[in-house]
Amino acid sequence: MVKRTCLFVAVLCCLAGAQAREDPKDSCGGILKLYEQGDVNAALEEAGWCVEALEQAQMSMQREVFPAEIAGWKRQSLDQNKALGMAMTEAAYNKDEQSITVSLMGGAGGGFLGSLAQLGMMAGGTRMRLGDYTGVAMTESGGGGTVTVSLENGGTLSFQSSRAGSHSLKEFATAFPIGALDKVSE
């Protein structure tokens, strides 16, 4: 009995992390035909697969916008996850034994985090220009800090470091292609 339970849990874990890799043309193309045939349930199921495929295509496009190198900082890792209607992309950059983590939150929770960033301004954050965007900088006592940007699409982009100084963090955030990322995240 214990072996069956362990096997069942292992299968569930694998299925939870599995993502379908499907071309949106395949999963979105037949929805209208199914609806016209009167098979609304099948059309709804196919629409779910269509949304999944479109979200994966969007995450792939976002992945391409995170540069391998920016202002002398080299990307060390790039991870993407999606859960509870929220998508997150996180990249780590290193330069001269310093690191900066860039996080993009989109979907249902991205707008909420953007609102928190606005509240941060009222709680001692400092506004800064980052090209066409406005960031909110919060400095930490160890020399690091966080810069948070509310994107036009409702998502939130943050730059965080525990060791890079505020000048390095601002320089990196200013050089980052925020506008291109905002555009592919719409």
> What are the tens digits of pLDDT across the range 37-78?
999 999 999 998 888 888 787 777 777 888 999 999 999 999
End-to-end Cα distance, the chain? 49
> Same domain, yes or no, for 167 and 137?
yes
> Same domain, yes or no, for 85 and 133?
yes
The Cα 30–Cα 20 span in angstroms is 17
> Same domain, yes or no, for 96 and 109?
yes
Residue 173 placed within a domain: yes
* pLDDT(86) > 60: yes
Residue 24 placed within a domain: yes
β pairing state of 98-107 and 126-130:
unpaired
* The pLDDT of residue 113: 52
- Residue among 181, 155, 183, 159 at smallest CA distance from 172: 159
* The pLDDT of residue 105: 87
> Same domain, yes or no, for 122 and 137?
yes
Q: What is the pLDDT of residues 124-144, one digit of tens each?
A: 688 889 989 999 988 877 778
The Cα 121–Cα 41 span in angstroms is 47
Q: What is the pLDDT of residues 139-171, one digit of tens each?
A: 877 778 899 998 888 888 999 998 888 888 999
> Same domain, yes or no, for 123 and 173?
yes
* The pLDDT of residue 84: 66
* pLDDT(11) > 50: no
pTM reported for the whole predicted model? 0.69
> Same domain, yes or no, for 43 and 86?
no
The count of domains in the chain is 2
> Same domain, yes or no, for 57 and 73?
no
> Same domain, yes or no, for 82 and 60?
no
pLDDT confidence bin for 107, thresholds 50/70/90: low
* The pLDDT of residue 109: 44
Residue 85 placed within a domain: yes
Boundary residue ending a domain (65, 87, 122): 65
Domain span including residue 61? 18-65
* The pLDDT of residue 108: 44
Left if phi > 0, otherwise alpha if psi is -120 to 50, otherwise beta: which for 167?
alpha
% of the chain at pLDDT higher than 70: 76
* The pLDDT of residue 116: 56
> Same domain, yes or no, for 122 and 168?
yes
Which helix (H) or strand (E) is 98 found in, with range?
strand 98-107
The per-residue pLDDT of the chain, averaged, comes to: 78
Starting at the edge strand that comes first in sequence, how are the strands of the sheet with 73-83 ordered? Answer: 69-70, 73-83, 86-95, 98-107, 156-161, 145-150, 133-139, 126-130
> Same domain, yes or no, for 151 and 121?
yes
* pLDDT(110) > 70: no
CATH number, residue 127? 3.30.200
